[in-house]
Structure 1
Amino acid sequence: MQQIELILGLLVAVAVLAILARKIRVAYPILLVLGGLVLGLIPGLPELQLDPEVVFLVFVPPLVYAAAVTTPWRDFRANLRPILFLAIGLVLATMLAVAAVAHLAIGGLGWPVAFVLAAIVAPTDTVSITAITEHLRIPRRIVIILEGESLVNDAVALVAYRMAVAAVVAGSFSASRAGVWFLWAAAGGVVIGLAVGWLVVWLRGNLHHPPVEIIISLLTPFGAYLPAEAVGASGVLAVVATGLYVGRCGLDVLSARTRVHGFAFWQVLVFLLNGLVFVLIGLRLRAIVNELAGLSWTTLVGYAALVTAVVIVVRLVWVFPATYLPRVLSPGLRQRDPSPPWRQVVVVGWAGMRGIDSLVTAMALPFLTSAGSPFPERSLIVFLSFGVILATLVPEGLSLPVLIRRLKLRAGEVEEREEALARLAAAKAALARLDQLAAEDGAPRDLIDYLRALYQRRSKLFQARLDQGDAKGHEEYASSARRVRKEILEAERKAVRELRDREEISDDVLREIEEDLDLEELRLEE
């Protein structure tokens, strides 16, 4: 009972921190990591013990799936080369550098344990990057590369993490066996993930039952992860493959209600999982520090600062040659994809925030090896991981908007043009269909005329945006129309509530009508 009350209290803390983050206009992962740090300093809070395997299973698959399913496949494929340079090349370089420095600088940290630490802190965090960049007007390509990198490097780093942990637990390491396992983990994970993705899309396309479909979406990442792990493949790669397939092929088979409700459900779930991880590590932090009583605070902070410096410097050193050297060596690439301005490369280099992924993998470290002895330096690894997250997420996250303003980076017009193109095509399709319906017997003329005027107005607005002409008059009309429509919706809502208050209708009827009105209002806001 005490643990249930504790978890409920933690959810309250997460909600308060999120509200505060919105008030002061700071990305919520920044306040969550600071909140976790504060919780770790409060005396008397109980410690919540969680099984490491349970932590990994509960948090990693749904978070990776949520990132994969919302990845725009066309843009991801178009930027695959820079994404792989960062997600594979940079992750491996970071792991080698961190492992070498940690082994040499931290007494008693053997090579296998150093590689465990390196695999934990190497990947960037999707949620942190998205939360920080979503309100910044920066070129869309930077956002795609950063989000694609954080998705793929999760899979790469987690495979390396599994290998390093297995070496520590078993007490031995075979390079040839690890190489064979890596190939099987990658190939098997992708094949299983695509198969699960196809099955999920087929199943949801034949259900047409929103609550059940949302439950299936919740079970999907586990349905990909568990079978892959059972046959020795990479469960994380399976989840990534499933998410990319469902995100690309699955939306067409869903009803409007399922899409709306499902999107809201996953927003809440991802937020809760992120918040819980940060506050859970806060509860463990005091116990971890007590276990490291043999090391002074100065020593611990120094170790964390050293590892953080390696992570940041390696990224900044890597991004420039990875961006410009391929174009120097390949004239064809230079012609197809000219070199980006150095300012964009600086932003990519500085946006190396760590977050939930590193935290979950640190918490998921086993307590014992196969010989029954304690996992070497487990508490130190968890402390250093939290230190790297704190030292990258907070300074880089807070300074990134300032850096973007100083470099005078602006969002391109490509995304806005694509949206205008899509909305114009939709409006023209609606007008064409209206003409067909008008020719049919029994079509209400007044409704046809009303909708034709509405879609003609929309066509003119989006055509003006595409032509980069004077759309001011159309924009003002659209803004006034939205305001009037909102006032009408509020009047409808008030009238229905008054009927409920006079008990002329039931609460069920009120909720049904309010849902329709809310959907209309949400559409106006979009």
Structure 2
Amino acid sequence: MNAGILLVLLALGAIAISAFGRRVNAQPGLLILVAAAAVSFVPGLPRLELDPELILGLVVPPLLYAAALEFSFFSFLRNLRAILGLGVVLVLLTAWLSRVAVDAMMPTLGAGVALLLAAIVAPPDTVTITAHGEELGLTRRVTAILTGESLVNDAMALTLFSIALAATGGEETFIDNGALLFAWSALVGVLIGFALGNLATAIRRRLDDPTLGTAIGLVVPFAAYLAAEEAHASGVLAVVVAGFNVAVESEYGNRRRERLGFRTRMTEREVWPVLGALLESFVFAYTGLQMKFVIEDLRESSEPLGRTLLTGVVLLVVVIAVRFAWVAVVFGRRLLANQSLQRRLQDPLFRKRWDEHLQQVAERRGRTPEIPEALGWKEQTLLSWTGMRGIVTLGAAGGIPLLTEDGAPFPHRDTLQFLAYFVVFGTLLLQGPTLSLLARRLRIDTSEEDRVALEQLALAERIAADAEAGTLPPPPDDDRPGRRGRDGRARRRRRRRVHTEAAPTDPATLDRFDRQREALSISVITGTLDDEAAQVVLARLDRQQAAEQRP
């Protein structure tokens, strides 16, 4: 069968299975993977094997970029500590323990190959889970943490993967020290992503064509990835930073003329979900079709099949158990500390001393420190069970080159791919079908978050209505207790200056839609309004303006 025809049939079949999975409320990725793996055993079916560089370079960048565009950057900052703990520290811990396990089970692989495999299986695919967060009963904070974690852990794991791949494949690096190379890769990747995000936004602001503006947006993730890789930096980090930068600048430019046209935003809201669904379906289907051939290659290799299977089981247990232990220790400790503080605050004497301490901190920092709300044990349990591996693991496994730099076959490539696929299958089969059941059993109460979300949405509607009538929102009031003093006044002046610079000098010069967008942007930038509520109203304004201007 011609490879082109096979690719078309592969894409169409993946889309059909994905539609069926959504209709029966099952995980489309798992269904596509299992179905494609079964099809791979059809006699006479040729092996479809793409260039490994195409998989990482063409599939991963747009998926991560789309996720960064849709995610609230302000929510990312609010949950930064938890996100970095899961997305950076946990990934490194999982990679280290996975390497130790693989070294112990299969010492013939070598330390470099073991590290490469550890980097491949380290990042969970939590974006797929958050897409069904409301159906599962996930709280908004857990959903935000999981979404931010997916962006950060993918960048961290693939950066580690690139370094391990270069070392194992014999590729020369311009920095011999591994720690310095990692730092260079992360820092330069961030800078390139920030620069290209700004460049893309500046170009699109000068285009009065939603088609061309969307086309430039489609080019950004590939440009960021390739530019960073050419500079020996993290292409994944560059893509994520570019996505965040474009999203914030497109919606919340300080002046009306600096924001993106509403038609371009509407077009992008339709394009990226379609592209993301197509790419995800393709990766799962392509990986499933490799299963028969990977098993055949593994049988012909020198590695005993039984030991390889046992290593896969051990690796599966490690990646699941490490996440449980991390969440229990870190988030559990925060919950206990929060509960202990709340009990001690019931003592009037301790309460008085605590208030005095907060007052002193507020005078130094210019703001009153808040006690972060800890996740309850039910939320922690769900967070622990959301460690399914998916797109990035499959993409990295498929991205292992066939040959090393000196032309020799890449060491243990078939074993690496088999173990990576084993972990993906294992987590999807174990955690995927049971996650919704676990969520129903836990019955997490989201009523308080729902109430706050409705209040924020009502506030966003009120701000937009006032702005439509020609009234911009007042500057935020920072004269609350603990915000007085020289630092508090300086902070208040800074925030008022942001408000003044963001506001147009004459609201009458703006049409009613731009007045509403201006007011919502000011409210988000100054912290008066949550970004999530503003996005709902901004999307509605775009639709209304498009309907009114339709010929």
In structure 2, C-alpha distance between the alignment counterparts of 1:407 and 1:301, rounded to whole Å = 34
Shift of 1:417: 2.5
In structure 2, C-alpha distance between the alignment counterparts of 1:300 and 1:139, rounded to whole Å = 39
Q: Please state whether the residue corresponding to 2:47 is helix, strand or coil.
A: coil
**CA spacing shift, 1:127–1:42, aligned 2, 3 Å:** farther
Aligned to 1:223: 223
Q: For each residue in 1:89-147, what CA deviation from the matched residue of structure 2 results, as whole angstroms up to 9, or x when unmatched?
A: 10011001111111111252211101111000000114422334253332100001111
Amino acid at match of 1:147: T
Residues 10 and 276 in structure 1, CA contact (< 8 A), matched pair in contact too: yes
Q: Please state whether the residue corresponding to 1:250 is helix, strand or coil.
A: helix
Aligned to 1:401: 436
In structure 1, C-alpha distance between the alignment counterparts of 2:292 and 2:217, rounded to whole Å = 37
Q: For each residue in 1:245-297, what CA deviation from the matched residue of structure 2 results, as whole angstroms up to 9, or x when unmatched?
A: 11111235232322222111111111111111111112222111111115676
Residues 39 and 279 in structure 1, CA contact (< 8 A), matched pair in contact too: no
Match of 2:414 among 372, 375, 379: 379
Amino acid at match of 2:401: P
Q: Please state whether the residue corresponding to 2:281 is helix, strand or coil.
A: helix
In structure 2, C-alpha distance between the alignment counterparts of 1:392 and 1:302, rounded to whole Å = 15
Equivalences for 1:96-107 in 2 at 5 Å? 96-107=96-107
Aligned to 1:118: 118
Between 21-30 and 237-246, the greater mean CA deviation after superposition: 21-30
Q: For each residue in 1:144-164, what CA deviation from the matched residue of structure 2 results, as whole angstroms up to 9, or x when unmatched?
A: 111111110111111110111
Equivalences for 1:170-185 in 2 at 5 Å? 170=170, 177-185=177-185
Between 348-357 and 275-284, the greater mean CA deviation after superposition: 275-284
In structure 2, C-alpha distance between the alignment counterparts of 1:174 and 1:88, rounded to whole Å = 24
Match of 1:264 among 270, 275, 291: 270
Q: Please state whether the residue corresponding to 2:123 is helix, strand or coil.
A: coil
Q: Please state whether the residue corresponding to 1:135 is helix, strand or coil.
A: helix
Residues 1:308 and 2:316 are matched in the alignment = yes
**CA spacing shift, 1:255–1:334, aligned 2, 3 Å:** closer
Aligned to 1:321: 329
**CA spacing shift, 1:40–1:107, aligned 2, 3 Å:** farther
Residues 1:198 and 2:176 are matched in the alignment = no
Aligned-CA RMSD value? 3.0
Which blocks of at least 5 consecutive residues in structure 1 are unaligned?
A: 434-439, 441-447, 449-515, 521-526
Amino acid at match of 2:410: F
Residues 1:86 and 2:86 are matched in the alignment = yes
Residues 105 and 307 in structure 2, CA contact (< 8 A), matched pair in contact too: no
**CA spacing shift, 1:172–1:184, aligned 2, 3 Å:** closer
Q: For each residue in 1:377-407, what CA deviation from the matched residue of structure 2 results, as whole angstroms up to 9, or x when unmatched?
A: 1111111111111111232122111111211
Q: For each residue in 1:151-209, what CA deviation from the matched residue of structure 2 results, as whole angstroms up to 9, or x when unmatched?
A: 10111111110111111111899996111111111111111111111111111111021
Residues 1:421 and 2:459 are matched in the alignment = yes
Amino acid at match of 2:465: A
In structure 2, C-alpha distance between the alignment counterparts of 1:219 and 1:335, rounded to whole Å = 41
In structure 1, C-alpha distance between the alignment counterparts of 2:457 and 2:373, rounded to whole Å = 25
In structure 1, C-alpha distance between the alignment counterparts of 2:373 and 2:16, rounded to whole Å = 46
Q: Please state whether the residue corresponding to 1:365 is helix, strand or coil.
A: coil
Shift of 1:425: 2.2
Q: Please state whether the residue corresponding to 1:305 is helix, strand or coil.
A: helix
Shift of 1:41: 2.8
Equivalences for 1:313-352 in 2 at 5 Å? 313-325=321-333, 336-352=371-387
Amino acid at match of 2:454: E
In structure 1, C-alpha distance between the alignment counterparts of 2:369 and 2:206, rounded to whole Å = 47
Q: For each residue in 1:18-63, what CA deviation from the matched residue of structure 2 results, as whole angstroms up to 9, or x when unmatched?
A: 1211221113222222223223333322211211112211111111
Between 164-173 and 317-326, the greater mean CA deviation after superposition: 164-173
Aligned to 1:488: none
Equivalences for 1:488-507 in 2 at 5 Å? none
In structure 1, C-alpha distance between the alignment counterparts of 2:391 and 2:245, rounded to whole Å = 24
TM-score by length of 1: 0.78
In structure 2, C-alpha distance between the alignment counterparts of 1:326 and 1:172, rounded to whole Å = 44
Aligned to 1:497: none
**CA spacing shift, 1:329–1:177, aligned 2, 3 Å:** farther
Match of 1:286 among 272, 292, 298: 292
**CA spacing shift, 1:173–1:243, aligned 2, 3 Å:** closer
Shift of 1:83: 0.6
**CA spacing shift, 1:347–1:6, aligned 2, 3 Å:** same
Q: Please state whether the residue corresponding to 2:135 is helix, strand or coil.
A: coil
In structure 1, C-alpha distance between the alignment counterparts of 2:433 and 2:247, rounded to whole Å = 31
Q: Please state whether the residue corresponding to 1:336 is helix, strand or coil.
A: coil
Which blocks of at least 5 consecutive residues in structure 2 are unaligned?
A: 253-258, 342-357, 359-367, 472-507, 513-542
The share of aligned pairs that are identical, in percent, is 36
Amino acid at match of 2:457: E
Aligned to 1:19: 19
Residues 55 and 363 in structure 1, CA contact (< 8 A), matched pair in contact too: yes
In structure 2, C-alpha distance between the alignment counterparts of 1:41 and 1:135, rounded to whole Å = 35
**CA spacing shift, 1:10–1:127, aligned 2, 3 Å:** farther
Match of 1:274 among 277, 280, 284: 280
